[in-house]
Structure 1
């Protein structure tokens, strides 16, 4: 993580909006009675950023402003791994096969919009998108997962604090 590049972006961007673009929930009928201890959790993150020119109304005049739009897709799913052994090889693990079944999946795509106040290097925008934009949106994602799990009455996914992979 390049803190100098991120600082350049932070100093020259203003968050205007965070909105959910789409959301998807899939729940297997066979999840009933399955506990989180029997399932593994997998996560997904995809980030896209683009600079657009936008016209914003200010009082009675129109002002052209460059905007950074960042599209972030998050996802989590529960996987149930079923080991099937032949009766003769139950004591040996060598003959086992693993069947994986997706028990539940939640995905959501958010669109974050930032006004660009001054020119920013592309490297700074890239660093900002990968860390700050995701960080700006992370609490929205956590709340969405928690409330969706409660409404669907499925085990709640663990969404930890956001940490950069860099």
Structure 2
């Protein structure tokens, strides 16, 4: 692990993770029970889309607050059309989560980039997996398997 990432990990203490926004779509032209017999492909994306930095002062104390916005999504498409530009997903779930951290010191740009690339996803991923599972249950479809997190 590089020293820049280690420095950021030592400085940042996680405070909260919350859902910032979400988009859910279930194709209304498909009978979801028919998907069992169809070749399905899972497509996904993940990554930090924005970082918000603020210096906070309260009761004579000062600290830095960092919000890392992590965009993530998953969808089911017909396997044969996976490479096509004409894709209409059967199911699509996209979200942005905000992971809020505090630090006693201001981070460098290099530390923020290293932390966003190698650490934030590990904090967000359990929330994302639970969100996909519970959303599938609400849609009355079989849960989409979200793999373990990797960088």
Q: Is this contact kept in 2: 1:81–1:101, CA < 8 A?
A: no
Greater shift in the superposed pair: 97-106 or 62-71: 97-106
Query: In the alignment, which of 99, 102, 106 is matched to residue 115 of structure 1?
Result: 102
Q: Is this contact kept in 2: 1:35–1:155, CA < 8 A?
A: no
**Is residue 2:50 matched to residue 1:53?**
no
- The residue correspondences of 1:78-117 to structure 2 (distance < 5 A) are 78-81=76-79, 100-117=87-104
Count residues with an aligned counterpart.
146
Match for residue 68 of structure 1? 66
Question: Once the 2 structures are TM-superposed, how far is the Cα of residue 125 of structure 1 from its aligned partner?
Answer: 1.6
- The residue correspondences of 1:126-165 to structure 2 (distance < 5 A) are 126-164=113-151
Greater shift in the superposed pair: 31-40 or 16-25: 31-40
- Secondary structure of the equivalent of 1:137? helix
Q: Is this contact kept in 2: 1:14–1:117, CA < 8 A?
A: no
Question: Once the 2 structures are TM-superposed, how far is the Cα of residue 36 of structure 1 from its aligned partner?
Answer: 7.6
Q: Is this contact kept in 2: 1:16–1:114, CA < 8 A?
A: yes
- CA RMSD, 1 decimal: 2.2
Q: Which runs of 5+ in 1 are unaligned?
A: 84-96
- Give distance in 2, aligned partners of 1:157 and 1:115: 33
Q: TM-score, normalised by structure 2?
A: 0.85
Q: TM-score, normalised by structure 1?
A: 0.78
Match for residue 41 of structure 2? 40
Question: Once the 2 structures are TM-superposed, how far is the Cα of residue 62 of structure 1 from its aligned partner?
Answer: 4.8
Q: Which runs of 5+ in 2 are unaligned?
A: none
Deviations 1:138-161 (A, max 9, x none): 000000001111121123222111
